[in-house]
Amino acid sequence: MNGNKTLIAYVSKSGVTEENAKIISDVLKSNYGFEVDLINLKENSKPDLSQYNNIIIGSGIRIARWYGKANKFLKNDFKDKKVAIFLSSGYAGKPETYQDAITKYIDKKLAKNPHIKPVAAEAFGGRYRDVEDYTDPEKVKVWATELGKKLSM
C-alpha cells in the first residue's frame, strides 16, 4: 500500500464535525494531492480500513462524551497507519474552557485507548443550535495544513 490514501471517518449531529471534515479533506486534496474518502460513520460504521495509509477520526461532543459510533470506531486496530483526531465541542471554542476540553475529551480518551498514538489531535469550537457559534474554519484549515505535512513524512 503506497501513497497517501486517507480516510476521514466522522460522526456529526449539529453539523460542525461534518463541515470540518470537508475542510480537512479539501486541504489534503488541494494542497497535498492526497486521495481522501469521507465516511459518515452513521451511514457506514465499519468501513474497510485496509486500503488506507491514514485514518482521521472526527466526533462531536455532547454531555461530555464522544458520539457513540466514533467512540466504537476508535477501538479498531489501526496497525501501522497514521491516525489523527479532531473534535467539535462547545468548550473548545471558548478560551477559558479550551484547555479543559483538551484534557477531558482528548487526553483522557487517549489514556483509555493506549493503542492510539495520533500524529495530531485537536478540539475545535462547536455550535449550539445556531444560538452560540464557536466555529472557526480558518483554525481548521491551519490544522489541516500542518496535518498534511505530518502525513507526508
CB of 91 to ligand FMN, least distance (A): 3
CB of 15 to ligand FMN, least distance (A): 5
For 79, left (φ over 0), alpha (ψ -120 to 50), or beta?
left
The reply to whether 90 sits near ligand FMN by the rule CB under 6 A is yes
The reply to whether 25 sits near ligand FMN by the rule CB under 6 A is no
Task: Kindly tell me which residue out of 13, 22, 42, 139 binds ligand FMN, with binding defined by CB under 6 A.
Answer: 13
Alpha-carbon radius of gyration of the chain? 14
Tell which residue, 105, 83, 6, has the closest CA to residue 51.
6
Tell which residue, 35, 27, 120, 31, has the closest CA to residue 82.
120
The reply to whether 6 sits near ligand FMN by the rule CB under 6 A is no
The reply to whether 111 sits near ligand FMN by the rule CB under 6 A is no
CB of 36 to ligand FMN, least distance (A): 18
The reply to whether 9 sits near ligand FMN by the rule CB under 6 A is no
CB of 144 to ligand FMN, least distance (A): 16
Name the segment binding ligand FMN (CB under 6 A); options: 8-16, 30-38, 40-48, 137-145: 8-16
The reply to whether 91 sits near ligand FMN by the rule CB under 6 A is yes
The reply to whether 70 sits near ligand FMN by the rule CB under 6 A is no
What is the binding site for ligand FMN (CB under 6 A)?
12-17, 60-64, 88-91, 101, 126-128
